[in-house]
Structure 1
Amino acid sequence: MDAAARARLIRALAGTVIAHADELTGLDQAIGDGDHGLNMKRGFETVLAEADTLAAQPLPAMLAGIGKTLVMRVGGASGPLYGTLFLTLGKTLPEESGMADAAPALEAAVAAVKARGKSDAGQKTMLDVLVPVLEELKAGGEGLPARLAATAHAAAEATVPMRAVRGRASFLGERSVGHMDPGARSSALMVEAVVTWLEEQA
């Protein structure tokens, strides 16, 4: 993967999150602080502005750089959680990375997010997307990119009937039921962006 491909990956991730900022804000207004979209947009606008500098580095360093930016620029719980995700991916991936390295790296990153947020799948959080996506990635096989995108989308939808157990939404109790988790949605958007980028690389 050359610097141009890495830059396209950054722009795919950042562009998707920024384009859906209003949707993410609307989801968070229903069950959270109402700032998820705004915070994520601010963080990824900074990432986008640094795209060329970040992309000039090897993939692990690039991902770690994205993580550091998100920790510094994204407020609320999302900054530390997404920062942890990207920092751990960067720390775990070897410098010469291939698809075979993706599952172990994501497994480490998901474990780090669980530890940072003291949460797990089934609690109406971003983990409800990341965990099923990880399992699909580990399964491998034919049509994997499309399956990852479909899994991410379905997993975000599956948070709608859940009762929130962690985060601000947990204070609402039963009133959190009937709303998609904004963190699950932003995670799904990122997975879909990576899948689109992968398909364009093929």
Structure 2
Amino acid sequence: MIETLDANAAREMMRSVAQSLIDQTDVLTEADLTIGDGDHGVGMRRGFEAALEALDAGAAESAEAAYKAVGTAILSNTGGAAGAVFGTLFRAGSKAFAASEVIDDASFAMALEEGLAAVLKRGGVTEGQKTMVDALAPAARAARAAVGKGLAAATAAATQGALDGVEASKAMIATTGKARSVGERSIGYPDPGAISVSLILKAMQDFTARA
């Protein structure tokens, strides 16, 4: 298992993340059709296709640069609220790697915490409103609790935290964003943004678990 990622490995991990989200376009579209307008999958695909292009262009000389390149591509190409919050997640999270040349369990947890704080500030939301925060917040807490056990353990813990958050979001009533108009009819369905968070983290987990 991989316990630290240098600049090259960080770039490859982010490429894996981008490809995973592109491959799950239909899953995200179907999830969004239940409580939204169905454009989440296409928007995320656009953003992560642009992220792949940025990474392949060599705009990632460090872990910080790789994260920031992905965030900038998402912010510029995804569109709507998803572009703003997911772009912010990566751009703000990149700061956690500024003082280190590698991604380890501590900096990974910090990246999630920095990303979460920035998303909360930008989106003006809290946990329990059926948004991507409901997966991101428990993921950040789980990653922090796993610090000291290695990067693979931290990404696995974060993924499980996000999946638990996705499941919990089913019982929530959407009170913000496009899904707000659905109201109580959103009960029983997971938040598409929360699903996206879980897919991002699962791709990271899979990458760090490779021998």
- What is the aligned counterpart of 1:146 among 156, 165, 182? 156
3-state SS in 2 of match to 1:57: coil
Superposed CA RMSD: 1.7
CA distance in 1, matches of 2:141, 2:194: 16
**Structure 2 residue ranges without an equivalent (≥5):** none
Please tell me whether the aligned partners of residues 60 and 91 of structure 1 are also in contact (alpha carbons under 8 angstroms): yes
1:177 aligns with 2:187: yes
State the number of aligned residues. Answer: 201
Asked which structure has the greater RCO (Cα within 8 Å, sep 6+), the reply is: 2
CA distance in 1, matches of 2:8, 2:185: 46
CA distance in 2, matches of 1:63, 1:54: 13
Partner of 1:33: 37
| Offset at residue 154 of structure 1 (A) | 2.1
The residue type equivalent to 1:93 in the other structure is F
Please tell me whether the aligned partners of residues 54 and 73 of structure 2 are also in contact (alpha carbons under 8 angstroms): no
Matches within 5 A, 1:115-154: 115-140=121-146, 142=149, 143-154=153-164
CA distance in 2, matches of 1:56, 1:186: 23
Q: Deviations over 1:16-47 (max 9, x none)?
A: 10111111011111111210000000111111
Please tell me whether the aligned partners of residues 25 and 38 of structure 1 are also in contact (alpha carbons under 8 angstroms): yes
| Offset at residue 79 of structure 1 (A) | 0.3
Partner of 2:107: 101
Partner of 2:87: 83
**Structure 1 residue ranges without an equivalent (≥5):** none
Please tell me whether the aligned partners of residues 152 and 192 of structure 1 are also in contact (alpha carbons under 8 angstroms): no
Partner of 1:43: 47
The residue type equivalent to 1:106 in the other structure is L
Identity of aligned residues (%): 39
3-state SS in 2 of match to 1:186: helix
Please tell me whether the aligned partners of residues 89 and 119 of structure 2 are also in contact (alpha carbons under 8 angstroms): yes
Runs (4+) off by over 6 Å? none
